[in-house]
């Protein structure tokens, strides 16, 4: 049932958009108010259940695996809130219908949609029993209130206020999320009922302190408590109906709602109540002080709201049943009179266009009904009998007397309440009754829609006090029972009891309040002249933190993201080094030296020396050419090392790659300034060199250490043993490539061919045809030109040889392809790329593509004959009496050869085309 | 059925969707290489590319539905792979759709762009399937080479050229780290097969083996680069800003998804027993990534850069799934990436829709008052921002995604501190995501601001789809959650008896 109500609220708010266009300016407020009004009536249906002390529950699995279930629960406390939300909601919508009549139609539609959505979110928040669902609705109210505060977004003030409110409350929401997570960790449940029922267990949790911090931050941000109180007065930029709804009656009470629900936990936790009361007192004092200083009608009301919220937080913090009674009563009383006052303030602002209290006066002539409503509400706010405000104030003092706290809260409460009395007087007397003649005319008078809200609520404030039985039985007692956990017998205070302590306190409050009211002018002027507080309040602190945070972030951004590739590389290398070091640290021991050091041999030593020399040269090199030569040297040393350690195949490949790189780089360098000085400063060089040295030392140490542990892998033995038997090849590396891991090789070949196509299509001018034809021939060196032709043929023949003998001897398709490409590179270096292209005759891409197809095709015979792709077949034929054993590995290797050749040439020609652009 | 991966025909079948995609891509490559470069042909190739992706998607879903499994081999056949494939293909389809409009507007009539995306997708699908470090390398290179080129696609833009070059150089570096890492791991365990590595570590007690641990460190560097984890993230903002926007979206969504898929698989299957040694560095990597991404995103003025940093932050959240390396983490990853892909793609689609020709109009301030001139775009962008923030209800499934990651972190042995870091850094992220919302809804539009161009059909389609799916799943997350929960990697070494010698020769 309650889920249907929630769904109805949501549908109603969605329908508000089209409906408000349909109904037009006059009627839409009245008709849309039917949504909350009918909800209000529907909730009244629950009165028997609630009055009997039962709760209505409804469950639906939503995301069960994540522990998020839509568990709704309507108990006495939620019931009070539901009635306030829907009841005041209906009046707000009616009011807004006229208040916003000057706005454009889409703008009104937006307002109605937002405010009804907001109502839905509020209902959802107070109805949900699952903390996570509560969190969802909580955040929804934040964003909706953000949109409502910034409704008049054309000027910067509402914008700033809206963003501030959103940052504060949405941030608080995330603190709530953190707390919820920890609650779930501690209890294994996210249900609010479990939190209440197992409060002592939760208080014993190791996470109790962070949980409380999270809950308090969430509640304090939402309910505008110190040090987050500043957003609420700023939020008065919202249209008044929204202020009346959000910032008096409902949203700001959500924090109180949460605190009340967590009250058992706070009470059970060490120093929980102290903290709450301390913050509440600070809030009350600051708010009272600021209320005296404020100039604008709505700002005065806003600060008085903050003070009232402080009182509520204090009441949650106080122990004893009466504190709960007082809290519940105050929630109701405050909602009634504060919403009324906001309505009246809105009417005044709307009618006069004025916002400062000082400028107003004598409005009773133009707005008589509003004035009466404001007077009634103010009397209630001042706590005078026979209004609801009186009853709630009596309970407030009763709760303080009965609680175990000392006199400080009491004194503060007296003072703050006195200020509230004065505020109540000021906001009624000043604009309406005093200063006749200040306002000469108003833009418009009172309309029924603008009156319904204030009249109904202010009269309720009187009626509920005169006829308290129904409200006590149906709403207040169940609400108190739901929060306190046990039924509390209520005895309403009355003047008939004679002079009691509480009555005396009330009288003192009214007396001081009257004094403040009498001297409001001087006090106000005096306090306004004190500007110190404006500089040192938490709003400034918040802004300063935001600003500092921004500056810090900017500094971090500059520090992390400078765009300098060299430094990026530096950091990547340094972090990589850190990870390698950690990898060794995790072994839990220092690097070891092998037991037996290998003997001293001159060959390897010389090679190592050359390598080290190359490395040093590379570090010191200042021009591109010298760097290239130095790096090339280390590359050749690597190849030599491979050769000396029994990997001739690898060495051959490395040699080919190194040579090719040199040639390619030369081609590129031809268009770059060869002797351009290095851009690195001396310091940067030193840094780079030290990082290089450190990393190489680390890697060296780790490698030496590795050589002490016996290697686990004996896979090379496996391949060595099976290479010839099953694949008829003696060159293990080649056999692995073409046979054992033929699939992988085919994949790599595809990648290489792909890169050829990419290089071709992306390097060089995009217009087809222009190609390399326009490349100006560079200087050609005669000797190079003469010899290159010879070398070209040598290299080509060599490459074919390397390819053919690959399966048994050193070589293979990859090295062969590289060697052949080297020949073409030489030609293009000597005679220009055009010449090389002419000699190639075939398009490099066709070469690569053809090679790929050949490689794939070589696997087909195996597939057809044996149902096994890339299973190589062997055939032995006699050629002139010499038996030649050849298999499908040759076309495979040839394919690789062609792909490599085509790719390198595609890059080569592409680079030249690019250079010629 | 259960594929015997030693039999090539069954291996081929197990790779059927991938092979289908590669074959189709080759055909499209030829189609795009021949003929003149016109916008019309670019669109045609784009349409065919989408069709190919859809076809592959169908194949993937068929394989998924058929419930095949496989023996321990070079590739994995399990729901995790198919789910990842679906995410990747989804990202690709959206990216191709976006780039069709984008390329036309920017007059980059390069039909190969779509083909490059398809090549990258082939690499990513290989990554999703890889159960062998060599396949991992192959997939990463296939993906990366195509993406390097995509980043520099706009030849007229110096920024794009710089981006592509930086990406390529740093990427080549990280490939070196990765390869060296693979070599060391192979040296220590005697295998490149992920499942065999896990088994070898367990069986031979290699948990403190120096070679293995150093190799793992290098692997972390290589993979960390691909997922853009801080401090290996430096390329990200420059590249994301410089690259054409649809390609940026593709990189931010699909590349990250694929890299994380393989990261997770390696960690869950090969190195679960190294948790003692490598848990802490990964933990710091995750936290550092979250902090750097979120803090630096705060000050960005350019929306693409802001989204780049936000993607770094999200990499941090996703790293949480790697840190916990359990089944919960794997399904959280899937769910998260689904939400993240939609939100990121949608956000970049809005950026594309609002940019003026030549990638102008990408400052956040340029979105001032968008709500007044293009309410639909503003509302959609708000949904994407809130989804990225993990905001409930209005951010659709974004909240559930973040909550899922938190759940994974809290599953025992719980990482409560990590969860708190996630929430805390999300708090920071609220500032910049909400700022965008504020600018769009509340700032007045300057009089001289150019009115946004008409949004072309494909872009509109992408924006609407992303927003609607996000919201609908946010309200009704159960089916997606159920799929994510069931799509777990199949850990072979847990189910099969332990290691075997290298494959017997045929």
Q: What is the mean pLDDT of chain B?
A: 87
A166 touches chain B (CB under 8 A): yes
Give the number of C-alpha atoms closer than 13 A to the C-alpha of residue A510, restricted to the C-beta side.
18
pLDDT, residue B86, reads 95
* Cα pseudo-dihedral A94, A96, A101, A105, rounded to 10: -100
Whether residues A821 and A889 fall in one domain:
yes
Which of A225, A247, A245, A227 is CA-nearest to residue A236? A247
B393 touches chain A (CB under 8 A): yes
B368 touches chain A (CB under 8 A): no
Give this prediction's pTM. Answer: 0.85
Residue A74, strand partner residues: A56
- Whether A643 is covered by a domain: the verdict is yes
DSSP letters spanning A727-765? H--S-HHHHIIIIITHHHHHHHHHHHHHHHHHHHHHSS-
Give the number of C-alpha atoms closer than 13 A to the C-alpha of residue A312, restricted to the C-beta side.
30
Q: Do A712 and B206 touch (CB under 8 A)?
A: yes
pLDDT, residue A663, reads 72
Interatomic CA distance for residues A892 and A876, integer angstroms: 18
A755 touches chain B (CB under 8 A): yes
pLDDT band at A739 (very low <50, low <70, confident <90, very high): low
Final residue in a domain of this structure, among A511, A530, A549? A530
In this structure, what token pair is assigned to residue A623?
């021009």
- Closest residue in B to A722 (Cα–Cα): B505
- Whether A404 is covered by a domain: the verdict is yes
Residue A246's φ and ψ, nearest 5 degrees, are -75, -45
- Whether A470 is covered by a domain: the verdict is yes
B407 touches chain A (CB under 8 A): yes
Chain B nearest CA to A128, separation (Å): 15
Of residues B204, B217, B237, nearest to A712 (C-beta): B204
Of residues A136, A575, A754, nearest to B119 (C-beta): A754
pLDDT band at B258 (very low <50, low <70, confident <90, very high): very high
- Whether A775 is covered by a domain: the verdict is yes
A60 touches chain B (CB under 8 A): no
pLDDT, residue A768, reads 41
- Whether A33 is covered by a domain: the verdict is no
Chain B nearest CA to A481, separation (Å): 32
**Cβ contacts of B404 on chain A, cutoff 8 Å:** 66
pLDDT, residue A76, reads 87
Of residues A154, A553, A757, nearest to B295 (C-beta): A553
Q: Which segment of A97-101, A801-805, A844-848, A899-903 scores lowest on mean pLDDT?
A: A801-805
Task: Dump pLDDT digits (tens) for B444-463.
Answer: 788 777 777 788 888 999 99
Task: Dump pLDDT digits (tens) for B38-61.
Answer: 888 889 999 999 999 999 999 999
Answer whether residue A713 shows pLDDT above 70: no
Answer whether residue B302 shows pLDDT above 70: yes
Whether residues A645 and A750 fall in one domain:
no
Interatomic CA distance for residues B328 and B323, integer angstroms: 11
Nearby residues of A460 by Cβ (< 8 Å), 6 or more positions away? A336, A388
Q: Do A556 and B295 touch (CB under 8 A)?
A: yes
Best residue in A147, A583, A859, A911 to probe B by mutation, most B CBs within 10 Å? A583
pLDDT, residue A440, reads 74
The structural domains of chain B, with segments of one domain joined by +, span 2-486
What 3 state SS string does A180-194 have?
HHHHHHHHCCCEHHH
Best residue in B31, B155, B211 to probe A by mutation, most A CBs within 10 Å? B211
**Does A93 or A590 have the greater pLDDT score?**
A93
Which of A73, A71, A527 is CA-nearest to residue A286? A527
Residue A833, classed as helix, strand or coil, is helix
Chain A nearest CA to B72, separation (Å): 16
Interatomic CA distance for residues B228 and B235, integer angstroms: 8
Mean predicted confidence (pLDDT) in B336-353? 94
Residue B7, classed as helix, strand or coil, is coil
Which of A206, A114, A214, A218 is CA-nearest to residue A169? A218
Whether residues A746 and A875 fall in one domain:
yes
Answer whether residue B286 shows pLDDT above 70: yes
- Whether A1 is covered by a domain: the verdict is no
Interatomic CA distance for residues A418 and A513, integer angstroms: 4
Chain B nearest CA to A352, separation (Å): 26
**Cβ contacts of B238 on chain A, cutoff 8 Å:** 561, 563
Of residues A139, A563, A575, nearest to B238 (C-beta): A563
Of residues A61, A68, A706, nearest to B210 (C-beta): A706
Final residue in a domain of this structure, among A530, A557, A573? A530
Whether residues A368 and A487 fall in one domain:
yes
pLDDT, residue A354, reads 78
Interatomic CA distance for residues B505 and A790, integer angstroms: 45
- Burial of residue B130 (CB within 10 Å: 0-12, 13-18, 19+) is buried
Q: How far apart are the first and last CA of chain B?
A: 23
Q: How many CB atoms lie within 10 A of CB A673?
A: 9
- Whether A569 is covered by a domain: the verdict is no
Best residue in B137, B434, B477 to probe A by mutation, most A CBs within 10 Å? B434
Q: Do A185 and B414 touch (CB under 8 A)?
A: yes
Whether residues A901 and A830 fall in one domain:
yes
Of residues B145, B152, B211, nearest to A751 (C-beta): B145
Whether residues A601 and A520 fall in one domain:
no
Final residue in a domain of this structure, among A530, A545, A577? A530
**Looking at chain B from residue 124 to 153, which residues have their Cβ under 8 Å from any Cβ of chain A?**
126, 134-135, 138, 141-142, 145-146, 149, 152-153
pLDDT, residue B502, reads 39
- Burial of residue A725 (CB within 10 Å: 0-12, 13-18, 19+) is exposed
Whether residues A846 and A768 fall in one domain:
yes
Interatomic CA distance for residues A454 and A377, integer angstroms: 9
Whether residues A801 and A737 fall in one domain:
yes
Whether residues A651 and A507 fall in one domain:
no
**Cβ contacts of B300 on chain A, cutoff 8 Å:** 557
- Whether A508 is covered by a domain: the verdict is yes
Task: Dump pLDDT digits (tens) for A150-204.
Answer: 777 667 777 778 878 887 887 888 888 889 888 888 888 888 888 888 888 888 8
Q: How far is CA A879 from CA A148, A314, A876, B232, in A?
A: 93, 106, 10, 59
Interatomic CA distance for residues B327 and B407, integer angstroms: 12
Q: How many CB atoms lie within 10 A of CB A710?
A: 5
Q: Do A757 and B33 touch (CB under 8 A)?
A: yes
DSSP letters spanning A135-162? HHHHHHHHHHHHHHHTTSTTSHHHHHHH
pLDDT, residue A774, reads 39
Chain A nearest CA to B235, separation (Å): 8
Range of the domain at A830: 733-917
Place of tokens 């407020």: A29
pLDDT, residue B290, reads 94
Q: Do A583 and B300 touch (CB under 8 A)?
A: no
B415 touches chain A (CB under 8 A): no
Whether residues A599 and A742 fall in one domain:
no
Q: Do B149 and A568 touch (CB under 8 A)?
A: no
Stated as kind and residue range, the H or E segment containing A554 is: helix A538-560
B15 touches chain A (CB under 8 A): no
**Does A744 or B56 have the greater pLDDT score?**
B56
Interatomic CA distance for residues A341 and A363, integer angstroms: 15
Q: Which segment of A682-686, A881-885, B74-78, B318-322 scores lowest on mean pLDDT?
A: A881-885
Residue A68, strand partner residues: A63
Chain B nearest CA to A715, separation (Å): 7
DSSP letters spanning A373-417? HHHHHHHHHHT-TTSHHHHHHHHHHHHHHHSS--HHHHHHHHHHH
Whether residues A379 and A468 fall in one domain:
yes
Nearby residues of B39 by Cβ (< 8 Å), 6 or more positions away? B103, B104, B107, B109
Chain B nearest CA to A916, separation (Å): 15
Interatomic CA distance for residues B124 and B142, integer angstroms: 8
DSSP A886: E
**Cβ contacts of A845 on chain B, cutoff 8 Å:** 33
Q: What is the mean pLDDT of chain A?
A: 81
pLDDT, residue B460, reads 92
pLDDT, residue B498, reads 39
**Cβ contacts of B424 on chain A, cutoff 8 Å:** 174, 178
Chain B nearest CA to A608, separation (Å): 21
Interatomic CA distance for residues A874 and A811, integer angstroms: 19
Q: Do A66 and B407 touch (CB under 8 A)?
A: yes
Whether residues A523 and A617 fall in one domain:
no
pLDDT band at A870 (very low <50, low <70, confident <90, very high): low
Q: Are A593 and A619 in contact (CB under 8 A)?
A: no
pLDDT, residue B189, reads 86
Best residue in A177, A215, A759 to probe B by mutation, most B CBs within 10 Å? A177
pLDDT, residue A769, reads 40
**Looking at chain A from residue 407 to 446, which residues have their Cβ under 8 Å from any Cβ of chain B?**
none
**Does A892 or B433 have the greater pLDDT score?**
B433
Residue A59, strand partner residues: A71
pLDDT, residue B178, reads 93
Residue B107, classed as helix, strand or coil, is coil
**Looking at chain A from residue 570 to 589, which residues have their Cβ under 8 Å from any Cβ of chain B?**
571-573, 575-576, 579-580, 582-584, 586-589
Nearby residues of B352 by Cβ (< 8 Å), 6 or more positions away? B98, B101, B102, B245, B246, B459
pLDDT, residue A815, reads 82
Q: Do B438 and A65 touch (CB under 8 A)?
A: no
Please say whether the dihedral angle defined by the alpha carbons of residues B3, B7, B10 and B15, taken in this order, is positive or negative.
positive
Q: Would you tell me the crossing angle of helices B275-297 and A538-560 to the nearest 10 degrees? A: 110
Size of interface A-B (CB pairs under 8 A): 273
Answer whether residue A712 shows pLDDT above 60: no
Mean predicted confidence (pLDDT) in A107-112? 86
Mean predicted confidence (pLDDT) in A725-751? 68
Number of domains in chain A: 3
Answer whether residue B260 shows pLDDT above 90: yes
């Amino acid at each position: 049932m309650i889920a249907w109500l929630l769904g109805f609220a949501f549908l109603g708010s969605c329908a508000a958009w089209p409906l408000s266009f349909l109904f037009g300016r006059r009627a839409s407020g009245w008709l849309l108010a039917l949504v909350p009004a009918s909800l209000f009536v529907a909730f009244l249906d629950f009165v028997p259940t609630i009055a009997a002390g039962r709760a209505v529950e409804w469950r639906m699995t939503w995301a069960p695996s994540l522990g998020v279930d839509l568990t709704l629960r309507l108990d006495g406390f939620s019931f009070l809130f539901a009635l306030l939300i829907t009841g005041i909601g209906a009046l707000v919508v009616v009011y807004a219908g006229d208040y916003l009549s000057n706005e454009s139609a889409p703008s009104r539609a937006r307002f109605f949609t937002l405010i009804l959505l907001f109502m839905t979110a509020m209902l959802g928040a107070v109805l949900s029993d699952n903390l996570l669902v509560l969190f969802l609705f909580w955040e929804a109210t934040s964003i909706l209130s953000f949109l409502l505060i910034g409704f008049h977004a054309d000027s910067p003030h509402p914008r700033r206020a809206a963003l501030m409110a959103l940052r504060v409350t949405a941030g608080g929401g995330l603190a709530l999320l953190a707390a919820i997570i920890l609650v779930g960790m501690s209890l294994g449940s996210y249900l609010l009922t479990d939190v209440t029922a197992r409060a002592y267990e939760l208080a014993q949790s190791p996470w109790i302190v962070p949980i409380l911090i999270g809950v308090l931050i969430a509640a304090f941000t939402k309910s505008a408590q110190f040090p987050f109180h500043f957003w609420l007065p700023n939020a008065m930029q919202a249209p008044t109906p929204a202020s009346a709804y959000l910032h008096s009656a409902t949203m700001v009470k959500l924090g109180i709602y949460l605190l009340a629900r967590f009250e058992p936990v706070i009470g059970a936790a060490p120093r929980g109540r102290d903290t709450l009361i301390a913050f509440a007192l600070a809030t009350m004092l600051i708010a009272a002080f600021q209320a005296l200083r404020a100039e604008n009608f709505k700002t005065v009301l806003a600060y008085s709201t903050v003070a009232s919220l402080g009182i509520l937080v204090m009441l949650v913090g106080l122990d004893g049943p009466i504190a709960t009674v007082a809290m519940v009563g105050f929630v109701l009383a405050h909602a009634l009179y504060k919403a009324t006052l906001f309505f009246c303030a809105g009417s005044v602002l709307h009618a006069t266009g004025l916002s400062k209290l000082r400028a107003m006066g004598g409005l009773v002539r133009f707005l008589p009904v509003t004035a009466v409503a404001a007077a009634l509400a103010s009397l209630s706010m001042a706590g005078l009998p026979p209004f609801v405000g009186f009853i709630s104030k009596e309970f407030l003092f009763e709760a303080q007397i009965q609680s175990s706290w000392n006199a400080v809260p009491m004194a503060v409460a007296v003072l703050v309440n006195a200020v509230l009395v004065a505020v109540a007087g000021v906001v009624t007397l000043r604009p309406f009754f005093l200063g006749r003649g200040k306002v000469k005319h108003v833009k418009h008078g009172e309309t029924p829609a603008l009156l319904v809200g204030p009249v109904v609520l202010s009269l309720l404030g009187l009626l509920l006090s005169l006829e308290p039985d129904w409200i006590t039985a149906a709403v207040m007692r169940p609400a108190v029972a739901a929060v306190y956990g046990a039924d509390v017998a209520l005895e309403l205070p009355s003047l008939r009891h004679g002079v009691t302590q509480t009555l005396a306190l009330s009288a003192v409050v009214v007396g001081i309040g009257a004094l403040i009211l009498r001297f409001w002018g001087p006090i106000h002027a005096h306090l306004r002249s004190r500007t110190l507080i404006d500089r040192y309040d938490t709003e400034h602190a918040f802004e300063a933190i935001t600003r500092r945070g921004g500056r810090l972030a900017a500094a971090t951004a500059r520090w992390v993201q400078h765009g300098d590739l060299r430094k990026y590389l530096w950091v990547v290398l340094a972090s990589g080094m850190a990870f390698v070091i950690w990898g060794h640290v995790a072994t839990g021991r220092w690097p070891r030296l092998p037991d037996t050091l290998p003997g001293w041999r001159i060959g390897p030593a010389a090679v190592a020396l050359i390598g080290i020399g190359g490395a040093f040269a590379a570090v010191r090199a200042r021009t591109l050419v010298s760097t290239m030569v130095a790096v090339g040297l280390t590359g050749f040393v690597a190849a030599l090392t491979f050769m000396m350690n029994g990997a001739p195949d690898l060495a051959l490949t490395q040699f080919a790659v190194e040579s090719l790189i040199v040639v390619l780089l030369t081609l590129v360098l031809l268009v770059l300034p060869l002797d351009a000085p290095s851009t690195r400063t001396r310091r940067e060089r030193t840094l780079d060199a030290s990082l290089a040295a450190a990393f190489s030392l680390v890697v060296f140490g780790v490698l030496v250490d590795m050589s002490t542990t016996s290697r686990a892998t004996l896979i090379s033995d496996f391949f060595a043993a099976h290479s010839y038997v099953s694949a008829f090849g003696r060159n293990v590396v080649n056999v692995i490539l073409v046979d054992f891991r033929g699939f992988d090789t085919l994949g790599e070949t595809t990648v290489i061919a792909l890169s050829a196509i990419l290089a071709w299509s992306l390097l060089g001018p995009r217009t087809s045809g222009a190609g390399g034809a326009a490349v100006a021939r560079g200087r050609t060196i005669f000797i190079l030109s003469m010899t290159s032709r010879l070398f070209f043929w040598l290299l080509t023949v060599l490459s074919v040889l390397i390819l053919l003998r690959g399966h048994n001897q050193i070589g293979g398709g990859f090295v062969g392809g590289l060697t052949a490409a080297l020949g073409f590179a030489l030609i293009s270096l000597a005679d220009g790329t055009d010449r090389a292209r002419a000699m190639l005759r075939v398009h490099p891409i066709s070469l690569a593509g053809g090679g790929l197809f050949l490689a794939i095709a070589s696997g087909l015979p195996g597939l057809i004959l044996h149902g096994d792709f890339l299973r190589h077949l062997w055939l032995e034929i006699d050629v002139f009496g010499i038996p030649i054993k050849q298999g499908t590995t040759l076309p495979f290797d040839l394919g690789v050869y062609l792909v490599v050749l085509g790719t390198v040439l595609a890059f080569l020609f592409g680079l030249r085309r690019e250079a010629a652009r | 059925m259960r594929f015997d991966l030693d039999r090539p025909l069954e291996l081929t079948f197990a790779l059927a969707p991938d092979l289908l995609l590669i074959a189709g891509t080759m055909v499209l490559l030829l189609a795009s290489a021949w003929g003149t470069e016109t916008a019309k042909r670019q669109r045609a190739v784009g349409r065919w590319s989408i069709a190919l992706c859809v076809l592959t998607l169908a194949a993937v879903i068929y394989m998924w539905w058929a419930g095949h499994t496989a023996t321990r081999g070079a590739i994995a056949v399990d729901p995790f792979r198919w789910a990842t494939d679906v995410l990747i293909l989804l990202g690709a389809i959206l990216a191709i759709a976006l780039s069709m409009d984008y390329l036309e507007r920017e007059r980059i009539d390069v039909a190969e762009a779509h083909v490059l995306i398809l090549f990258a997708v082939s690499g990513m699908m290989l990554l999703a399937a890889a159960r062998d470090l060599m396949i991992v390398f192959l997939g990463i290179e296939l993906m990366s080479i195509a993406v390097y080129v995509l980043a520099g696609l706009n030849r007229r833009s110096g920024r794009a050229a710089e981006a592509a070059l930086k990406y390529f150089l740093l990427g080549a570096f990280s490939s070196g780290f990765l390869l060296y890492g693979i070599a060391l791991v192979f040296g220590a365990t005697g295998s490149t097969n992920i499942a065999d590595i896990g088994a070898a570590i367990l069986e031979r007690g290699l948990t403190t083996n120096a070679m293995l641990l150093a190799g793992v460190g290098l692997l972390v560097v290589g993979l960390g680069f691909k997922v853009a984890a801080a401090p290996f993230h430096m390329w990200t903002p420059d590249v994301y800003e410089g690259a054409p926007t649809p390609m940026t979206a593709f990189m931010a969504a699909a590349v990250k998804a694929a890299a994380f898929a393989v990261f997770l698989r390696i960690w869950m299957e090969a190195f679960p027993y190294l948790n003692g040694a490598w848990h802490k560095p990964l933990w710091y990597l995750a936290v550092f990534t979250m902090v750097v991404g979120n803090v630096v995103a705060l000050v960005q003025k350019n929306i693409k850069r802001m989204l780049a940093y936000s993607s770094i932050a999200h990499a941090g959240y996703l790293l949480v799934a790697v840190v916990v390396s359990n089944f919960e983490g794997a399904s959280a990853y899937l769910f998260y990436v689904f939400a993240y892909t939609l939100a990121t793609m949608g956000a970049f689609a809005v950026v594309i829709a609002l940019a003026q020709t030549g990638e102008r109009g990408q400052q956040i301030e340029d979105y001032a008052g968008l709500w007044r001139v293009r309410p639909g775009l503003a509302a959609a962008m708000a949904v994407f921002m809130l989804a990225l923030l993990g905001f409930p209800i209005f951010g659709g499934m974004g909240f559930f995604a973040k909550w899922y990651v938190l759940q994974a972190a809290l599953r025992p042995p719980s990482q409560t501190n990590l969860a708190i870091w996630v929430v805390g850094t999300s708090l920071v992220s609220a500032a910049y995501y909400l700022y965008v919302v504020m600018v769009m809804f509340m700032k007045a539009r300057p009089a001289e601001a150019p009115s946004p161009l008409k949004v072309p059909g494909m872009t509109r389609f992408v924006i609407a789809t992303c927003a609607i799916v996000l919201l609908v799943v946010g309200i009704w997350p159960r089916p997606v959650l159920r799929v994510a929960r069931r799509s777990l990697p199949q850990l072979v070494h847990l189910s099969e008896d332990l290691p075997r010698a290298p494959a017997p020769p045929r």
